[in-house]
Structure 1
């Protein structure tokens, strides 16, 4: 059993006719990447998944391979041609897997919001049986109708579920189902679990899916998915990114205090070449010439820049009616325009060799906070900025993410909210450590949560 693998089969051969876009929906851009890339990211990052097999249409195999090569997906072992139906594509996927004891997850490429917890539930269920479906409770009343569009039956909603993917199988069971289906060309089933049940090959256990694991079918779905991506953040634990910083060159803007100071101390102790600047040292991130000069000198001194981190920010509390425009302009200039300047100039310094950029958002980006409305607005703008720039920068191997720490013990926090219980605040060193981890991960276009 030591040779048993956990393999994801990604079905990416759909034509997207119902969507009506000029390209298949799995290749549409969403939050900085194609839908397919977001889906592949989920399995690439899951520690239990050993391999990924992609099933595409013959017309799109070249594009799929270009995406894989550009992003460097290490777990993708095969890209195979599928058929004109979902069933044919799934059959092609299982045919590419050798051996009958593997745990296989079959997933639609156009479900990019799959979470790791759902994958875990599928894999655990395969310890108990040979077939697993993923589903969520039906929230609406489901009606059965006659050919004349009259209600024939209203099933009990409590026993109804809405199916999702992944579906999970022992490879031999799924292989046998598709072999049997070859002799029944008129068989109409909508998914692989339907095949398993039709041929009575196994019971199918149902595990909980996730309401956010939507399938992109219609144009409105892409807007919904984009909004979910904007609001959904991901944690990067220390150790997920490469924290072997010896010889790395890191430029920190806003380095004189708070999180920026902690980043510099941790990176320096780890052997990185750290260029630490702030307004106190004469570098204001609103000044593009000063930012450009700082980055140019870093390249001249060390040959390249591996990461640029901008922690500089300004928070002014109070009702907006009581703030004069100079206070408003100051926050917009530093928090938003300054971040734009750093991102733009860092990209120019990194576009030849690649690298990573980290900007800072805040938990207030999801919902504006009274008494610091301007600050909240700038932090929401940072998230949109990062998502947009991740798409622009991706061909140049420049990554950019928004770091979203919970309330952190920094001088800016104390100045605005006074002394708070230490146990209610993140330590700046923790935020700094995870910021560095995010910079040296493969994430891009994401909101990286840092929580207590």
Structure 2
């Protein structure tokens, strides 16, 4: 007789109010990289093939918001949404109370750790084959000190034995249920997590599995900015992984498609079976003029009946000190780089919404720090990033993804016109950027900046 496999259940604690972060809304509903923290975390567990069910623990004020996000995101594994308590321990107790099978493998995770990876989940599940309780931890990079009541150092433990705890923590459901049963009647217990309860009552040995340094907990406003950058780095890795390279049946529109990176995107997309329409000033299309962009899109859509991807590779760079720059040159850059991006986004949206499509814009490494003699260009490229991040939120409801490619110095006509002849070995090939662009366009991410760097020789 075959023994039934115990269910594997994720309990996601999402009942925080964001008081420590001093935010107007709970941290789990903040937008990072185009989605709420809540959705990012749910995505990880929903996608893991060995997670059977998800139990969400929320507070009364946020229950309706959570339910709406679950329905909109079609999170099929969310079995129950239960109300938590005033403390983390009470919320965890509410979660385990919703698990009926004492043999179930249970993972308890703080939903404000949205950068959890699938491999960590798997390590926890595998460890439960041997142990009844599992903690996730990483080595401490800092020296930890023990403080006296007077504010002096009492003890400095050996750092090699110390670990920083994360979540998920994993348990056999019956063990965690018993730990919370004992804690409910124990006013003296002072622990901050579920493994602490198990250790406090001596219920089982707690195994330790490796966590991930990127699995940060969003607690303070600065963590939001760090998480956003980590998602950007993750999107690069995701875009470089193998994917379905066929674009057969897809329609791709490329503005700035007659030279440089745009031309490389056109050629690559065509080689992968897409119907590609390239436009530039050569065709009389000025992307800063809505009528020009509208006409181009109508032409492309009229030919195939739809548009799946739009890539805006058009741009203008004019070097020189601001003091010596004419207003014509300044306006040319602002118009082509920023106004053009806005126009392309606005005019493309209706077409992309029909196909739940993708829009790609381009920035420059100068967007993070303006550079002398290219100050106006740098400013426009920083604005493009902010534009995309804002539009990612606006477009999400329609299923339209918008991302930004940030290539390192690339061998293009625009670069040679401004910087002259440079060693080829120091420059990216435009084809490499085109490959990353199409990978990003066909991915499911939105609101992210993809850094494309030249690999070391």
Is 1:57 aligned to 2:58, yes or no? yes
2:341 is matched with 339
Q: Distance in 2 between matches of 1:119 and 1:321?
A: 56
Q: Which residue of 1 aligns with 2:397?
A: 395
User: Which deviates more from structure 2 when the two are superposed, residues 273-282 or residues 419-428?
Assistant: 419-428
Correspondences of 1:181-220 after superposition (within 5 Å): 181-185=180-184, 186=186, 187-198=189-200, 199-205=202-208, 207=210, 209-210=212-213, 213-216=216-219
Q: 1:161 to 1:33 in 2, by over 3 A?
A: farther
Check conservation: 2:251, 2:274, Cα contact below 8 A. yes
Checking the alignment, whether the CA contact within 8 Å between 2:9 and 2:53 is kept in structure 1 is: yes
CA contact (8 A) 1:167 1:192 kept: no
Distance 2:280 2:397 in 1: 30
Q: CA deviation at 1:22?
A: 5.4
Aligned to 1:406: 408
Q: Deviations over 1:406-441 (max 9, x none)?
A: 222222222233344444333222221221121121
1:154 equivalent in structure 2: 154
1:70-99, Cα deviation, whole Å (9 max, x unpaired): 23457x443431431423433455554968
**Residue matched to 1:348:** 350
Q: Higher mean Cα deviation, 321-330 or 263-272? A: 321-330
Give 1:214-293 correspondences, 5 Å limit: 214-216=217-219, 221-222=220-221, 224-226=223-225, 228-229=227-228, 232-233=232-233, 234-235=235-236, 236-238=238-240, 242-293=244-295
CA distance in 1, matches of 2:100, 2:341: 47
Q: How far has the Cα of 1:378 moved from its partner? A: 1.6
- DSSP-derived class of the 2:253 partner: strand
The C-alpha deviation readout for 1:271-313, integer Å capped at 9, x for no partner, is: 2121111111111111111001212233333222111110111
Looking at structure 2, the residues matched to 312 and 7 of structure 1 have their Cα atoms a distance apart, in angstroms, of 48
Shift in Å at residue 394 of structure 1? 1.1
Match of 1:365 in 2: 367
Other structure's SS at 1:154 match: strand
> Deviations along 1:241-296, whole A, 9 cap, x unmatched?
55331111111101001111121112222221211111111111111110012122
User: What's the Cα RMSD here?
Assistant: 3.5
5+ residue gaps, structure 1, are none
CA distance in structure 2 between the aligned counterparts of 1:418 and 1:261, rounded to whole angstroms: 20
Q: Contact 1:251–1:276 at 8 Å: present in 2 too? A: yes
Classify 1:155/1:381 alpha carbon distance in 2 versus 1 (closer, same or farther; 3 Å): farther
Q: Pick one of 370, 374, 377 that aligns with 1:375.
A: 377
Q: TM-score scaled to structure 1, two decimals?
A: 0.83
Residues 11-70 of structure 1: CA deviation (Å, up to 9, x unaligned): 21223454565543312334543221233345567x787557242226444432421332
Pair 1:301–1:73, CA change in 2 (3 A): farther
* C-alpha contact (below 8 Å) 1:122/1:134 kept by paired residues: no
**Which range moves more in the overlay, 283-292 or 346-355?**
346-355
In 2, the alpha carbon distance for the partners of 1:138 and 1:155 equals 18
Using the alignment, how far apart are the partners of 1:249 and 1:26 within structure 2? Answer: 36
Mark the CA change 1:15 to 1:204 in structure 2 (over 3 Å): closer, same or farther: same
Can you give the 5+ residue segments of structure 2 that lack an aligned partner in the other structure? Answer: none
Higher deviation after alignment, 308-317 or 228-237:
228-237
Provide the secondary structure at the position in 1 that maps to 2:191.
Answer: coil
1:136, CA displacement in angstroms? 6.0
List per-residue Cα deviations over 1:160-217 (Å, max 9, x = no partner): 9684532343x42x6413323313312432112212322251244374653782422x
